[in-house]
Amino acid sequence: MSSLDAFFRATIGERPPPTVGGDWESLDNHPDFHAPVLAALGRLEDASTVALSFVEANEARWRRDLADGQTLIAGHVRRGIGRDMVDFATQQLVLLSDIKTLGQFAERGDRSGVVALLRDWERQKMRSWGLDDIWEPTPFPLEL
């Protein structure tokens, strides 16, 4: 892709029916990716709406799953399943916390907060891939 905007246009809106395995090519189906792309593009109002709606729609479920998993572990019934539930719910709640922070920055129009958060996520990903020593960030459209 030549730009973040080109990526956005290629992954939003009317698309052909999904192939086996689901529609992984559409940001519309993945608000946890959609909101950061909108924010990076400078579409803060849209980013806030997508991010905060995603959190609202999912937070109670992941908190319930976390509690259910903890109950399974504590009761020594299906302990392995409980651990898996706790691990997955915890990961999802961390994701929701990150997306909520992005949504709150975007809602306030805090451009520098959004950029700092996106840059931190980018830095973490480069570190996890072992590329942080050669990575050079480029400005997000929001920064230009």
pLDDT of 23 above 80: no
Segments making up each domain of the chain, as ranges: 4-143
pLDDT value at residue 30: 86
DSSP string, the chain: ---HHHHHHHTSS--PPP-TT--TT-GGG-HHHHHHHHHHHT-HHHHHHHHHHHHHHHHHHHHHHHHHHHHHHHTTSSHHHHHHHHHHHHHHHHHHHHHHHHHHHHHHT-HHHHHHHHHHHHHHHHHHTT-TTT------GGG-
In this prediction, residue 18 has a pLDDT band, given cuts at 50, 70 and 90, of low
- Report which residue type is found at 76: H
Share of the chain above pLDDT 70, in %: 88
Q: What is the mean pLDDT of the chain?
A: 87
Q: 118 pLDDT exceeds 60?
A: yes
